[in-house]
Amino acid sequence: MISITLLGTAALVPIPERALTAAFLTCGGHSILFDCGEGTQSAAVKAGVSLMKTDLIALTHYHGDHILGLPGLLKTMWRMGRTEPLYITGSEGLWQKAMEPILRLTGRTAYPIELFELPAEGLQLCRLIRGWASAARLTAFKTVHKVPSQGYCFTLELAGKFLPQKAKALGVPVNQWSRLQNGQSVPLGDNIILPE
């Protein structure tokens, strides 16, 4: 199941009931934080979501109302004992325009922070972070703003209907059927059986 929690919907200036821009997506025990404006941590506590298990932070652009919650969040993750890598992606200029000063403000962390750009065709999240469903994909698209910016599309392709009679007719052993159901190919002699 996919769940999206809007943590902040205000722009420029936070107000008591509205933190600055942030949205939190969870799917199958994994999560993505989209932007991290001021007040994101407080809003997460109020909404009952844990940002500590965030796998990936996807930044749309580098205005303060979208990124100035990052130093505090990154430091909180360290203080709470995070050890697994945290992945961060964003629009053009991720290192120079955003993360270099953010990481200087954050200071030392005990976990690796991995910066990367999404490939043009998008990314199957399981290729980056172990445990994501193979059908989970994140792609970026350009948006219109005063600075380079992008939006994101998260997709979770539904598996096609599995046809056991076809797998049996092709000679696929029963213990390999789950691989086909999960979208993986199965080698069979000199042939490769595709999930399709």
Same domain, 34 and 95: yes
Same domain, 138 and 182: no
Interval 73-93: pLDDT, tens: 999 999 999 999 999 999 988
Same domain, 133 and 170: no
Question: If phi over 0 gives left and psi between -120 and 50 gives alpha, with beta otherwise, what is residue 12?
Answer: left
CA distance 196 to 190: 18
Same domain, 52 and 7: yes
SS3 19: strand
Same domain, 71 and 45: yes
What's residue 59's pLDDT? 97
The DSSP bridge pattern shows strands 30-34 and 22-27 to be antiparallel
| CATH number of residue 145's parent domain | 3.60.15.10
The yes-or-no answer on residue 190 being catalytic is no
User: DSSP string covering 134-147, please?
Assistant: TTEEEEEEE--SSS
Q: Which domain holds residue 148?
A: 2-156
Share of the chain above pLDDT 70, in %: 98
E strand or H helix that includes residue 89: strand 86-89
Interval 145-187: pLDDT, tens: 999 999 999 998 776 678 888 888 888 899 988 888 776 788 8
Same domain, 92 and 170: no
Mean pLDDT (the chain) is 91
Same domain, 146 and 174: no
CA distance 91 to 72: 21
Query: How sure is the predictor about 123, in pLDDT bands with cuts at 50, 70 and 90?
Result: very high
CA angle 194, 140, 68 (to 5 degrees): 135
Same domain, 173 and 125: no
Same domain, 58 and 120: yes
What's residue 40's pLDDT? 96
Length of the chain: 196
Same domain, 133 and 171: no
- Number of structural domains (the chain) is 2
Same domain, 35 and 129: yes
The residue annotated as part of the active site, out of 35, 55, 65, 190, is 65
Same domain, 145 and 170: no
Is the pLDDT at 12 greater than 70, yes or no?
yes
